[in-house]
Structure 1
Amino acid sequence: MAASARGAWCVPCLASQETLQELCRKEKLICKCIGITRRNLNSYEVEYLCDYKIKKGTEHFLVKWKGWPESCNTWEPKDNLKCPAILKQFHTDHFKYLSQLHLSNSGILNGIKSLDPAISDSIVKKARQRIALRRWEEELNRKKSHCGMIYVENTVDLEGPPVDFFYINDYKATPGVITLGEAIVGCECTDCFTGKCCPTEAGVDFAYSEHKQIVIPPGRPIYECNSRCKCGPDCPNRVVQKGPPYSLCIFRTHNGRGWGVQTLQKIKKNSFVMEYVGEVITSEEAERRGQQYDSKGITYLFDLDYESDEFTVDAARYGNISHFVNHSCDPNLQVFNVFIDNLDVRLPRIALFSTRNIRAGEELTFDYQMKGYGDLSSDSIDMSPARKRVRTACKCGSATCRGFLN
């Protein structure tokens, strides 16, 4: 940070707050802006437990102290530790490690003089992963603009947060693309069900019931009320623009499909669940990126081909929670094209609605070959959310699985 005549100039720091706290404590520095004061400079709080041994007949644990570098780890007798939840987690991680090796264990450490280095190493890696996922979860909830919470869970492997993914809430325009439109006119309705509302002006059917559930068939566009409309925020024709209402969990799948998304609440049939957002790029750029993604076997390109085929949404690096939604040949989400303030038919917003009642805890999926318009018969489907040149095996496991994503 450098002072100037106008005040302080700041640049983003690549280190986490926890890393900065560790450096401050190591160097005995006070820094109130990251929570290091004279009062807590020498405070010690257990962050996680690294190892275990019996010393002179007493149980000892190797402690990683929160806000202190690993060089300050110390062995502490169990009686000194007032962290029952962390002790329980240590035992649980130990038990799971042995279970994965198909070794019998009661889940406690009775009779063990010390841990095998491979076990302690695994426990430390799991603890670090848990902390990294919790920080990522906090970051996602800071950045999201909708009311539902986002949770993160990995009980399968040691995979941590993606290193090259940035959470956004709306389309991110690339050079030459304009995604922010401004409505020229809005409706004058006091009751959008009976008035001459935006869908009527656009020559399409009103998309929602009075309970804000989709009533039009797939392939029909949704025209919501916009910023110039006289109707208030409770208008039943304002659904997608309010954002996802549900609490969702990004979780690690058990069958090699990477991350997935499950709902933590019941979702009624025909309800709005989320938007598919990312970078909006030209079709030419999509072709170039598609070749790169093919070699990695990833699928994040979604063509915005409602009336033309000029633009594509790429959610590989920039996106929202839809980035983690997996494919299924028998999905519970359906794609619809939505227009609100930007009425450019080349740039619809992509909304995902439930096709049936979805239970709490159920994984959310959509068909990667699903289109948001026109005839949806199997003979007419193109690969809308990714132009694949190499056939990718499908792992959805549904009874109607086609065998490939494309």
Structure 2
Amino acid sequence: KLVQMVCKPSSQAMTQPNPNMTEDELKVGMNILGKKRTKTWHRGTLVAINPVGNGVFKYKVKFDKGKSLLSGNHVAFDYNPTLESLYVGARVVARYKDGNLVWLYAGIVAEMPNNKNRMRFLIFFDDGYASYVTLPELYPVCRPLKRTWEDIEDASCRDFIEEYITAYPSRPMVLLKVGQIIKTEWEGTWWKSKVEEVDGSLVKILFLDDKRSEWIYRGSTRLEPMFNLKMTTANAQEKKLAGQQRTRPNMGALRSKGPVVQYTSDCHVGASPVKSPQAPPTQPSPSPQHQQPQQPQQPQQPQQPQHTPPPAQPPQPPRLDGRILSPPNTPTSLFTQQFQRQLPSLPPGPPAITHAMASIPHQPSYRAPTDRIFYLVHTCQPACLNRVRPAIPDMHRGKNPLLTPLLYDFRRMTGRRKVNRKMSFHVIYKAPCGLCLRNMAEIQHYLFQTRCDFIFLEMFCLDPYVLVDRPFQPQRPFYYIPDITSGKEDIPLSCVNEIDSTAPPQVAYSKERIPEGGVSINTSADFLVGCDCTDGCRDKSKCSCHQLTLQATGCTPGGQINSSAGYLHKRLEECLPTGIYECNKRCKCCAQMCTNRLVQHGLQVRLQLFKTQNKGWGIRCLDDVAKGSFVCIYAGKILTDDFADKEGLEMGDEYFANLDHIESVENFKEGYESEAHCSDSEGSGVDDKDSKSEEESDSSDDTFVKENYYSSSSVWRSYTTRGQVKGNKEGELLSNQTSRLWAERLSKDLRGLYRKFQDCVSLTVSGLSGVTKKQVAVKSTRGIALKTSHGLMVKTGASGGGGDNTPSKNTRLFFDGEESCYIIDAKLEGNLGRYLNHSCSPNLFVQNVFVDTHDLRFPWVAFFASKRIRAGTELTWDYNYEVGSVEGKVLLCCCGSTECRGRLL
């Protein structure tokens, strides 16, 4: 009941006094609290009430020592207020305990009691501190000002409170957990600190240098993520007022492991997403092309409720996307009509199977053979696989790739062993000839020895918690299509709808990139670097393509080359910001045996398009996916920046993705993201507590379960707490030198493109954390989250001492003076990557891969598994939109993650 009383019907009502409440009367002789010059409040007696005109009174209060004539906003009743009289922004006097001492300070109510704060009030005091108090520790101010924050003397505190109350109940706060490392400001310096405790909206921070700790409000700009957010907003406004050229917002594909800002909303008032209503089932039709087409859905955008019931209309197919309906004469609706007229020219799709016609065909489970395979000493050769070598190539294509070796009489065995007194699981494979393969290196050597061209290295997995025979079988759906790609993908992509009988949006499926007008991609072999390896490119020191990948890592901060970069046994454990160069059509290596060809082989894992509850359509895996496995690419039409702006405004930008590899590497090499990590698999932040090791889990099906900161015209006050605890301060060598020199010479031009004009690149605060307003939102294909906005960076002020205002240059300018990156648009034509939804805790990461061209502007956008994924799990990636980057557009997040940031835009 208490929570229900606190929650008001609107955000404005939550920050306004109850109109039914009347002011208590002040009488001479009553005990009250008064404010002294020391800013503290003390008990006294009201001895006189003096009118000063215009209905305003002064109150003479007698204290134990002396008297004071105070205004109505500087006196408070000496009793506790009622819950009905309090609201967010209410002016109160609250107790604060410091050891054995108790003080009274003025402040405002920042948070009403609820289950999250254990039924307490959060108070922002006038001097910048914050604390949780209970109702008996509050005293109401007698005659507060209508704009309560105007009573605060400190300008920065006053601005913070005004902004807080105006934006309430939407409150950006840093999402933190115990053990996380974060930078915290203290006395103008940023210090490395650690999260000791989280209590509601407050966090206890331990400064690692002097072991001092204090409580800070999680929305305080003393925390680095909040400071970056505030600076981003301020600089965007400054650039907007200055009329500067606007760049696209920065939306990296993956955020770092550092803390992120979460947008919370008390009692979900005014900000809670509304689930799209389930549409009634429609009549089955023989094929989707005869149905009225559906407009493609916008992932993660909730549908707004209708305020008035629409008039009766003829029945129409239900909407799938959950997007906001446009008026009849808007550009979006006009485009929809035009798109619907173009749909009959699309190739016919596969026939649909409705709930009334048939169910999903059930595939029998794999049964392991019971006979034993004995090993006889021999030297493995191609004859070892003669009895299992198929006469028909790809006879098991379409099945779980991790199950394929078992279908060819390989045995996958799980054993247990003790390591450091802990029982752990391990996997070994037994070949058809009886040879035991204990690690991926032995498997790779065996496949090369036997010249195996029908089983590949990525089909083996030594993770004991990845089960190769655990297919996901959906419930009996209302709608089912065996393959929405009509055979265009090597692996069928099925589609099911277990919610209603609506069909997915009709999209021209293409698994390849489609250059549009003004886009020219040179895929000639004359502009590619090829290798002449004969060992399957296993020796990275001799493979020219591997060397391109390795040499590019020298563009990272420090300039040190990562000798282990690239694929490891056909897996990619983490993102490589400088990109991966796969072997290509100019290489002389065997395409089937090469270990540096993965993305170009196309879709391998079994996926399924399905209807989600509140996010439109999504993609899930039908089998377990090992960490580092390649999943799919993001394909669509490649547009120029100008044309993308025009199409985004007319048709929508929900399927835009930036090809911003150049900007990503250039900013990364300057050291702006030296602390960033590429994988989200461990969530947000660094946790010092050791998590439960994987070896202690069960593998059965049942139990598997910055350093420089800049000033701005607007500065926000950081709210902290008074409590403090005192304490004391505290190359790898290459084997073939000739090949090495040759490979370095080949990659010299590439590295020169990255490093050229490095001294000319000078970014001010507008480049470091400023994001300019734009009318369209674009996902980034970067593998890491960058704190800068991409595109051409323009100086807005003088640099350190030179005062040179020459615009900064980047590598993209060397491509005929281009200034903006290209855009992939998968709205009307694309592949399954368009259906991948957003999550604040994703299980995929983005990697730029160069396959058919070494042009830095046109990498392939590939998705890899950032963690082990169980069958039936939805596949997601982090869109990394910058909140507030698109003017006039708010997009709530529906990912449901425990680390959900609340908003996308």
Pairwise TM-score range, normalised by the shorter structure = 0.5 to 0.7
Which one of the candidate residues 327, 332, 335 is aligned to 2:846?
335
Confirm or deny that 1:291 pairs with 2:649: yes
Q: Following the alignment from structure 1 to structure 2, what is the Cα–Cα distance between the partners of residues 325 and 301?
A: 13
Letter of the 1:349 partner, please give it. Answer: W
- Could you say which residue in structure 1 is the equivalent of 2:492? 149
CA distance in 2: counterparts of 1:19 and 1:305, whole angstroms: 36
Structure 1 residue 402: deviation in Å?
1.3
Partner residue, 1:399: 898
Q: Partners in 2 of 1:216 and 1:402 — Cα distance? A: 23
CA 1:292 to 1:403, structure 2 compared with 1: closer, same or farther past 3 Å?
farther
Q: Which runs of 5+ in 2 are unaligned?
A: 1-284, 290-354, 360-475, 553-561, 663-811, 813-819
Report what 1:273 is aligned to: 631
Deviation for aligned residue 1:139: 4.5
**Paired letter, 1:167:** Y
| CA distance in 1: counterparts of 2:660 and 2:641, whole angstroms | 10
* Distance in 1 separating the partners of 2:826 and 2:899: 27
State the match for 1:71 in structure 2: none
Within-5 A mapping of 1:6-405: 130=479, 133-134=480-481, 137-144=482-489, 146=490, 148-163=491-506, 165-179=507-521, 181-184=523-526, 185-191=529-535, 192-194=537-539, 195-201=542-548, 203-204=551-552, 207-215=565-573, 217-233=575-591, 234-254=593-613, 256-293=614-651, 299-307=654-662, 308=812, 309-369=820-880, 390-405=889-904
Q: What CA deviation, in whole Å up to 9, does each residue of 1:164-189 have, x standing for no partner?
A: x1110110110121235123331112
Distance 1:387 1:293 in 2: 16
Find the aligned partners of 1:18 and 1:159 in 2 and give their Cα distance. Answer: 12
**Contact 2:478–2:498 at 8 Å: present in 1 too?**
no
What's the offset of the Cα at 1:326? 0.5
Q: Is the 8 A contact 1:335 1:352 kept in 2?
A: yes
Q: How far does the alpha carbon of each residue in 1:318-342 deviate from its partner, in whole angstroms, 9 at most, with x for none?
A: 1111111110011000001110121
AA aligned opposite 2:597? R
TM-score, scaled relative to structure 1: 0.60
The code of the aligned residue for 2:545 comes to C
Structure 1 residue 239, shift from structure 2 partner: 0.4
Q: Deviations over 1:121-165 (max 9, x none)?
A: xxxxxx9973xx42xx44414222x3x3211110112321313x1
Query: In the alignment, what sits opposite 1:104?
Result: none
Work out whether residues 477 and 496 of structure 2, in 8 Å CA contact, stay in contact via their aligned partners in 1: no
Alpha-carbon distance in 2 for matches of 1:17, 1:128 = 17
Distance verdict in 2 for CA 1:17–1:326, change over 3 Å: closer
Structure 1 pair 162/216, CA: closer, same or farther in 2 (3 Å)? Answer: closer
Matches of 2:525 and 2:882, distance apart in 1: 31
Identity fraction in percent: 35
- Decide whether aligned partners of structure 1 residues 336 and 88 sit closer, same or farther in structure 2, where only a CA change above 3 A counts: closer
1:156–1:343: structure 2 CA closer, same or farther, 3 Å change rule? same
In structure 1, the residue corresponding to 2:834 is in which secondary structure?
Answer: helix
Q: Which 10-residue stretch deviates more, 271-280 or 191-200? A: 191-200
Q: How big is the alpha-carbon RMSD for the aligned residues of Structure 1 and Structure 2?
A: 3.0
**1:333, 1:355 within 8 Å by CA — same for their partners in 2?**
yes
Task: Work out the CA distance in 1 between the residues paired with 2:893 and 2:286.
Answer: 41
Q: Distance in 1 between matches of 2:872 and 2:477?
A: 26
Paired letter, 2:904: L
Deviation at 1:214, TM superposition (A): 0.9
Separation of aligned partners in 2, 1:393 and 1:17: 37
Q: Aligned pair in 2 of structure 1 residues 87, 186: CA closer, same or farther (>3 Å)? A: closer
1:86 deviation in Å? 5.6
Query: For 1:234-279, what per-residue CA distance to the aligned partner results, in whole angstroms no more than 9, with x for missing partners?
Result: 211000000121111100001x200010000111111110001110
Q: In the TM superposition, what is the alpha-carbon distance from 1:201 to its structure 2 partner?
A: 3.6
User: Residue in 1 aligned with 2:265?
Assistant: none
The DSSP-based 3-state class of the residue aligned with 2:531 is coil
User: Structure 1's 87 and 364: CA in aligned 2 closer, same or farther, altered over 3 A?
Assistant: closer
How has the CA–CA distance of structure 1 residues 389 and 274 changed in structure 2, closer, same or farther, with 3 Å as cutoff? farther
- Unaligned runs of 5+ residues in structure 1 are 1-15, 21-84, 90-126, 370-380
Structure 1 residues 390 and 292: CA distance shift in structure 2, 3 A = farther
In structure 2, how many angstroms separate the alpha carbons of the residues matched to 1:268 and 1:321? Answer: 20
* Cα 1:216/1:259, change in 2 over 3 Å: closer
AA in 1 matched with 2:547:
T
Q: What is the aligned residue count?
A: 266
Please tell me whether the aligned partners of residues 208 and 236 of structure 1 are also in contact (alpha carbons under 8 angstroms): no
Q: Matched residues in 2 for 1:227 and 1:292: separation? A: 39
Work out the CA distance in 2 between the residues paired with 1:152 and 1:17. 16
Is this contact kept in 2: 1:153–1:250, CA < 8 A? yes
Letter in 2 for 1:391: V
389 and 348 in structure 1: CA distance in 2 versus 1, 3 angstrom threshold:
farther
What corresponds to 2:293 in structure 1? none
| CA 208–362 in structure 1, closer or farther in 2 if over 3 Å, else same | same
Moved more, 232-241 or 206-215: 206-215
- Report the 3-state secondary structure (helix = DSSP H, G, I; strand = E; otherwise coil) of the residue aligned with 1:317: strand
Look up the equivalent residue of 2:521 and give its one-letter code: T
**Given the superposition, is the C-alpha separation of residues 250 and 190 from structure 1 closer, same or farther in structure 2, using an over 3 Å criterion?**
same
Q: Higher relative contact order by CA 8 Å / sep ≥ 6: 1 or 2?
A: 2
Q: Name the amino acid aligned to 2:517.
A: P
Larger Rg: 2
Partner SS state of residue 198, structure 1: helix
Q: What is the TM-score of this pair, normalised by structure 2?
A: 0.28
CA contact (8 A) 1:275 1:322 kept: yes
Aligned to 2:162: none
SS at match of 2:485: helix
CA contact (8 A) 2:639 2:823 kept: yes
Distance 1:389 1:143, change over 3 A: farther
Amino acid at match of 1:171: R
Q: Is the Cα contact below 8 Å between 2:531 and 2:583 reproduced in 1?
A: yes
Q: Could you give the per-residue CA deviations for residues 301-359 of structure 1, whole angstroms, max 9, x where no partner exists?
A: 00101114320000111111111111001100000111012111011110000000000
Mapped contact 2:575–2:846 kept (Cα < 8 A): no
Tell me: CA distance 1:86–1:397, structure 2 relative to 1, closer, same or farther (3 Å): closer
The residue type paired with residue 661 of structure 2 is: Y
Seen in structure 2, the aligned counterparts of structure 1 residues 188 and 303 have a Cα distance that, compared at 3 Å, is same
Structure 2 match to 1:59: none
Q: Residues 392 and 187 of structure 1: is their aligned pair in 2 closer, same or farther, counting only changes over 3 Å?
A: same
Q: Distance in 2 between matches of 1:139 and 1:273?
A: 17
Q: In 2 relative to 1, CA 215–286 (structure 1 residues): closer, same or farther, beyond 3 Å?
A: same
Paired residues of 2:485 and 2:492 also in contact (CA < 8 A): no
Whole-Å separation in 1 of the counterparts to 2:288 and 2:596: 47
Tell me by how many angstroms 1:391 deviates: 2.3
The answer (yes or no) to whether the contact 1:173–1:179 under 8 Å persists in 2 is yes
